[in-house]
Amino acid sequence: MENAYRPELWQNVFVLLGSSSAALIGLLFVATSLHLSEIVNNPVLRRRAFNNTSYLLIILVEALLVLFPQPMLILGAELVAINLLGLWFPLRFIYQFFEDKEGFRHGGGVFHRAVIFGASFMLGVAGGVVLIEHLSWGIYLVATSCIILVVRVVLTAWSIVLGVGQTEKQKK
């Protein structure tokens, strides 16, 4: 039974991930509401704010799923499903890039963001599949995916702040 999934060993990690994503959702709402007109009027900033909120909600739900007492098979299936849902956002972003490269770049889109988010969600899918196979090391993949997402969301939030600052500067 050495390979048995032992959620108690991961409890603090996922409590931290869930708590930090919930706190960041709150901060994102406050920051967005303070500069609502700039974000609503700029489609790039609006998309980034929406995607960031969605990514943080996915991290929160993943943390909750890991913390729920449930069989590893069910947990793995849930993690695969939510990471596939999350993968839709960067795939849509990549599609938009290839559809209109010039407009994408002019709007401040950066291709590597989509690649990082996509790779992170694929890591989460892989972790879920490994858990379905009853291999406990899949939780490492899921935790790594969530950590990458949190870091990337914070960096993307910074780009939103810079975008709002540029918008305000242009108004003056």
Nearest to 127 by CA among 72, 89, 85: 72
pLDDT at residue 3 tops 60: no
Judged on CB neighbours under 10 Å (0-12, 13-18, 19+), 57 is middle
Regarding predicted confidence, which is higher, 132 or 1? 132
CA distance 15 to 111: 31
Where along the chain do its domains lie?
A: 7-171
Model pLDDT, residue 127: 97
User: How confident is the model over 45-83, as pLDDT tens digits?
Assistant: 888 889 999 999 999 999 999 999 999 999 999 999 999
Instruction: Please state the pTM of the whole predicted model.
Output: 0.86
CA distance 55 to 89: 9
CA distance 38 to 104: 19
Give yes or no for a contact between 58 and 16, defined as CB atoms under 8 angstroms apart.
no
Model pLDDT, residue 167: 67
Give yes or no for a contact between 95 and 28, defined as CB atoms under 8 angstroms apart.
no
Give yes or no for a contact between 91 and 66, defined as CB atoms under 8 angstroms apart.
no
